[in-house]
Amino acid sequence: MRDLWRENIGEALIGLVVVLVAGWFIYTAWARTGGGGVGDTMHVSGQFPSVVGVTLGTDVRVAGIKVGAVAAQRLDPESFQAELTLALDSKLKIPSDSSAAITSEGLMGGTYISLLPGGSETMLKNGDIILDTQGSMDMMGLVGQMINRTGDAPADDSKAAAPASTTTP
């Protein structure tokens, strides 16, 4: 009977560890996507022509410092642009004429949204829309264009560029 009791306690402890790890994972995912404290975040949105590399939880930064995350994304059926909802720290006062640009940390770095504060006296509020946005660059497309353009050498104009020889009698 004592062995059965020890076996059940071991299984119960393993089950408890699994439940705690799953709970930690769910909490981290929820907090990272802005779902975590409704009172301490505000949600603003913006439409972007391209959001390549942006997913739920992508950082939103001001001057390189994380101030929020992407909370939702959807395709606008009328303009066919991607609409992102950004969960920002509500304590942060961002001017309403600020702009948002999708950028990367480098050639091989991660993607994030950079907020560039404007100069307006009025500040963004919950539910506001950022009008000035810039989508992400397609790095593979740019590399492909550079590779293809290197093969387009200009025609050999050496004959046309050479001065005509003149003979004097």
Provide the residue ranges of all domains of the chain, joining segments of one domain with +: 1-32, 38-137
Residue 151 pLDDT exceeds 70: no
| pLDDT of 85 | 93
pLDDT at 36 over 70: no
Q: Is the dihedral of CA 101, 46, 124, 38 positive or negative?
A: negative
Q: Is 85 exposed, middle or buried (0-12, 13-18, 19+ CB in 10 A)?
A: middle
Phi, psi (degrees; rounded to nearest 5) at 114: -100, 120
pLDDT exceeds 80 at position 137: no
* Percent of the chain with pLDDT strictly greater than 90: 22
Question: Please, how many CA atoms are within 13 Å of residue 168, restricted to the half-sphere of its CB?
Answer: 0
Phi, psi of 41 (to 5 degrees): -125, 155
